[in-house]
Chain A
Amino acid sequence: MKFKVKILRQDTPHDGSYWQTFEMPYEDGMNLTTVLQRIAADPITVDRQPTAPVAYDASCLEEVCGACTMVINGRVRQACSALVDRLLAEQPSLIEMRPMTKFPVIRDLIVDRSSMFEVLKRVKAWVHVDGYHDLGPGARIPPKQQDEAYPLSRCMTCGCCVEACPQFNDRSSFIGPAAISQVMLFNAHPTGRVDADARFEVLSGSGGIAACGNSQNCVKVCPKDIPLTDSIAKAGRDTTLYQLRKWFGS
């Protein structure tokens, strides 16, 4: 069996984009990173024209690193866990791959997501410890609190949530669901919460929590099922409380 893959390509950040179609022999258990590997080994289009291999980002190939995120059949997700037979069941004979639209394209399916990491600096997404010398264990943490922290801590900074978010775009400075969820992760940590106010300050400002339009798209596309809308709801409430405290000077 053969199937077709249509890929939106772009040679450099300054060039226009164009579609190219490849025909692939089906392999049992095949996923889209395999498809990209096969194209790299044999870059020939469906019209038998040799072309340059498709550039793409990929590393772990088991959906824990977040590298191979792209838009597949119109939905943002990781290419490694996108299995060909399931995609063909959704949409027979043709699979469509394109780069994420919310980030600058470097080449083909590679985009520059560094802005997501920059935002993590702004919200101080870390635990400010005294030092790396031996000070014994951290605080005891009840299992329930660990149960709440662990899902938030699985965020791969892959960008699915911001890709799906209507408020995250060129015209807005919205920091996005992933960063807000990280704020809630660190504010809940016994040591991490020392920077809570600084984080709420960012959420209070332009592009902060008020920029969320509550479309709830983020939580639907998160590959790790992170309860992003719960984080956003809590962040909204806590930021309001922070602002009240600030106004009343307490």
Chain B
Amino acid sequence: MAKQHVVVVGGGLAGLAVTMKLAEAGNHVFLISMVPVKRSHSVCAQGGINSVNPLTRQQGDSEWLHMDDTVYGGDFLQHQPPVKEMCDWGPRVIDLLDRLGVPFNRTPEGFRDQRRFGGTMFKRTAFAGATTGQQMLYALDEQVRRWEARNLVEKYEYWEFLGPILDTKGHCRGVVAQDMFSMEIRPFAADAVVLATGGCGSVFGRSTMSMICTGGAAGRAYEAGADYANGEFVQVHPTAIPGTDKLRLMSESARGEGGRIWVPRKPQDDRDPNSIPASERFYFLEERYPKYGNLVPRDIATREIFDVCVNLDLSVEPGRLCVYLDVTELSAESLKKLDGILEIYEKFQGVDPRKTPMKIFPAVHYSMGGLWVDYERNDATGGLVIGSPRNQQTKVPGLFVIGEADYQYHGANRLGANSLLSCIFSGLIVAPTIVNRLKSLPQGSAADQPVSLFDDSVKPHQEWMNRLIHHEGTENPYKLHQELGDWMTRNVTVVRNNKDLRSTLEKIAEISERYGNVALSDKSNWTNQNLSFTRALGDMIRLAGVITEGALLRDECRGAHFKPEFAIPSPDAEEPAALREQAGVWCKAFKAKGDRWLKTTVARHTPDGPEFHYEEVDTSLIPPRPRTYGLKGAEVIEQVWSKMGVGQEGPAERKVAVGGAPK
């Protein structure tokens, strides 16, 4: 049998997890990454990784409750079997990382310490200071280096994925990639291709994401025929600090350790925040959400910041969404656990957050949506069939997607510290799928394909590059990107409305047109970053269209997707009977909204733009329910809803409807 290869694109947590598992099983992996893998965006993850643990278990926690928090936090938009499997694996994933040497914080007895994160009442989050993602990435990087030293992994760092190689039947046979230094373009034949290429923050100009998170790889796979799902669900993190080049995250762990969010009750009070007495501070999350307090899910915290800053005009800085994140009252021990992020604030803002409340702002942070991937449900467990050839596979046979680049695990809103889990979990479970695939190769081997398939695959990329380098145009790709980012940030983030979404779509069409007229300021054939950026801009424009049109079509509020025009008015009657009646009306409206919109948005690329259809969501394990987080006055909705008995009739079959918008 000819030698088999797997291509993994992207060397963050997900890509490294699958690479080490495949190498352990004796498979040869080409690992392709735009940066040395140790510099991947996973380093920016700060707060921690979730799973049920011995402490929470004794407080009544379970894998099931972790799943419940995850799907409730995600507003029930994710298929439940993959989430169940992920939460079941949580403890094992963290044990493995522990064995690999991740320096998790410890209790006096030497056990792993845990902190609380948003959207749960349990301390599920294991952490390594406030640089957990970096520490976990390094542990996996070290393991992959171990296999590299044994020649099972061949790294192609500073290489960029340009697209999958598809045969005439549409099966993936490898990838085309470009050396970002020499600009050489070459094919890599492979019997399985895994994309682990992260999110697409650059679509919004500046975000908390790294410069490499352009969505370029996802955009290219989408263009080649892989569907893109739930693109309109984009997480805006409530707490970041603005910068001229990027927006820097201030981890939820600051609140997990006891940090509090507040604004002065007097609009634009210009006193030193430390001198404002408690009675003149508005701790709006604590007041409005007594149960979860500062640890409500991110979409809710972000919207409340918007409400307080815009509707109540209480922003700390006029004209912006700025509130205080206050850790000045924390113990020295808690502050030490946050050193990693407090250093960032101090270095970039020049103010010591241990002494002065931080000024923080919401920022685009995470793509819940991503490339559509399949899974096979295990009817006996409600989880997944491990090793099924369907798990994490796109619509293109042989092309798999894991990590933030897929859409699978977080629904309409991701809970903090679940992303490190989903990245590593999806990387670990796609490995047995690929090992099984390599044993049987249902569509034949890449080595048996005609050489011309691979030779010809390079040509269009080479031609595109030569054409672009010599193109005389008037548009500047960086300025075009800024324009795109400004529009997307203004109209397609926290609050959305159809009028602005429509005008944004028109703008995207205009930018797309102008993109045809870009000129490079660098005409060279050596380390041309201008070219790489301009290529990615094309992908950003395409994904911007998918995100914006998906948002326009979805006439409801769900998780991070908030359209006030379609919000169900909250009950506000004083008198109990009237309130109950209003709650009844609310619940009926909620039921109708779920019937129509509890569906996965699926976008398919066509030359004329995306074509949308909707698929049923597998909610067979936990019936959907209103998402209130103990909001003041929501008790009555919950009572009425539980009496209605919706979705209590037992596990449903998974139905997949293809084609057509929901009725």
Chain A residues with CB under 8 Å of chain B are: 11-12, 27-31, 33-34, 37, 40-43, 50, 52-53, 55-67, 80-81, 83, 106-107, 110, 113-114, 117, 120-121, 124-129, 131-132, 134-138, 140-143, 145-146, 149-150, 153-154, 156-157, 186, 189, 191-192
Chain A residues in 8 Å Cβ range of B319? none
Q: In the complex where A29-B243, A41-B478 touch, is A61 in contact with B530 (Cβ < 8 A)?
A: no
Return B486 CB to nearest CB of chain A, in Å. 14
Tell me whether A140 and B110 are in contact (CB under 8 A). yes
Given A62-B248, A63-B347, 5 more pairs with CB closer than 8 A: A40-B530, A62-B249, A64-B44, A66-B39, A125-B145
Which listed residue, A28, A65, A137, touches B39 by the CB 8 Å rule?
A65
Tell me whether B39 and A154 are in contact (CB under 8 A). no
Return B100 CB to nearest CB of chain A, in Å. 6
Tell me whether A141 and B245 are in contact (CB under 8 A). no
Contact of B95 with A by CB under 8 A: yes
Contact mask B80-120 → A, CB, 8 Å, 1/0?
00000000000010111011110111111111100000000
Chain A residues in 8 Å Cβ range of B529? 40, 53, 55-56
Contact mask B523-563 → A, CB, 8 Å, 1/0?
11011011001000000000000000000000000000000
Complex: A80 Cα to B95 Cα, angstroms: 34
- 19 residue pairs of the A-B complex, CB under 8 angstroms, read A28-B244, A29-B348, A31-B244, A37-B245, A43-B522, A53-B521, A55-B529, A59-B41, A60-B39, A83-B348, A107-B181, A127-B142, A129-B143, A136-B95, A140-B106, A143-B108, A143-B110, A153-B101, A153-B138
Q: In the complex where A126-B145, A127-B99, A137-B99 touch, is A142 in contact with B106 (Cβ < 8 A)?
A: yes
Q: Output the nearest chain B residue to A225 by Cβ-Cβ distance.
A: B343
Tell me whether B101 and A127 are in contact (CB under 8 A). yes
Complex: A135 Cα to B135 Cα, angstroms: 21
Chain A residues in 8 Å Cβ range of B523? 52
Contact of B601 with A by CB under 8 A: no
Return B546 CB to nearest CB of chain A, in Å. 25
Which listed residue, B35, B245, B344, B524, touches A67 by the CB 8 Å rule?
B35
Return B529 CB to nearest CB of chain A, in Å. 5
Chain B residues in 8 Å Cβ range of A120? 142, 145
Complex: A53 Cα to B526 Cα, angstroms: 12
Contact of B38 with A by CB under 8 A: yes
Complex: A191 Cα to B478 Cα, angstroms: 49
Tell me whether B526 and A117 are in contact (CB under 8 A). no
Complex: A191 Cα to B98 Cα, angstroms: 11
Return B51 CB to nearest CB of chain A, in Å. 12
Tell me whether A11 and B243 are in contact (CB under 8 A). no
Return B155 CB to nearest CB of chain A, in Å. 9
Tell me whether A63 and B344 are in contact (CB under 8 A). yes
Interface of A is mostly: loop
Tell me whether B210 and A61 are in contact (CB under 8 A). yes
Return A2 CB to nearest CB of chain B, in Å. 16
Q: Output the nearest chain A residue to B155 by Cβ-Cβ distance.
A: A117
Q: Output the nearest chain A residue to B92 by Cβ-Cβ distance.
A: A134
Tell me whether A129 and B348 are in contact (CB under 8 A). no
Complex: A126 Cα to B99 Cα, angstroms: 11
Chain B residues in 8 Å Cβ range of A186? 101
Chain A residues in 8 Å Cβ range of B348? 29, 31, 62, 81, 83
Chain A residues in 8 Å Cβ range of B100? 127, 129, 138
Chain B residues in 8 Å Cβ range of A29? 242-244, 348-349
Contact of B387 with A by CB under 8 A: no
Chain A residues in 8 Å Cβ range of B175? none
Chain A residues in 8 Å Cβ range of B350? 83
Q: Which one of A30, A37, A62, A192 has the greatest number of beta carbons of chain B within 10 Å?
A: A62
Tell me whether A137 and B101 are in contact (CB under 8 A). no
Complex: A124 Cα to B243 Cα, angstroms: 38
Return A27 CB to nearest CB of chain B, in Å. 5
Contact of B605 with A by CB under 8 A: no
Contact of B184 with A by CB under 8 A: no
Tell me whether B146 and A107 are in contact (CB under 8 A). no
Which listed residue, A61, A67, A110, A131, touches B248 by the CB 8 Å rule?
A61
Chain A residues in 8 Å Cβ range of B212? 59
Contact of B594 with A by CB under 8 A: no
Chain A residues in 8 Å Cβ range of B451? none
Chain B residues in 8 Å Cβ range of A136? 95
The 8 tightest CB contacts between A and B, nearest first, are A140-B110, A41-B478, A126-B142, A138-B98, A107-B527, A65-B39, A138-B99, A127-B101
Contact of B476 with A by CB under 8 A: yes
Which listed residue, A41, A117, A143, touches B38 by the CB 8 Å rule?
A117
Complex: A192 Cα to B98 Cα, angstroms: 12
Tell me whether A153 and B44 are in contact (CB under 8 A). no
Tell me whether A137 and B344 are in contact (CB under 8 A). no
Tell me whether A58 and B211 are in contact (CB under 8 A). yes
Chain B residues in 8 Å Cβ range of A56? 529
Which listed residue, A57, A154, A189, touches B134 by the CB 8 Å rule?
A154
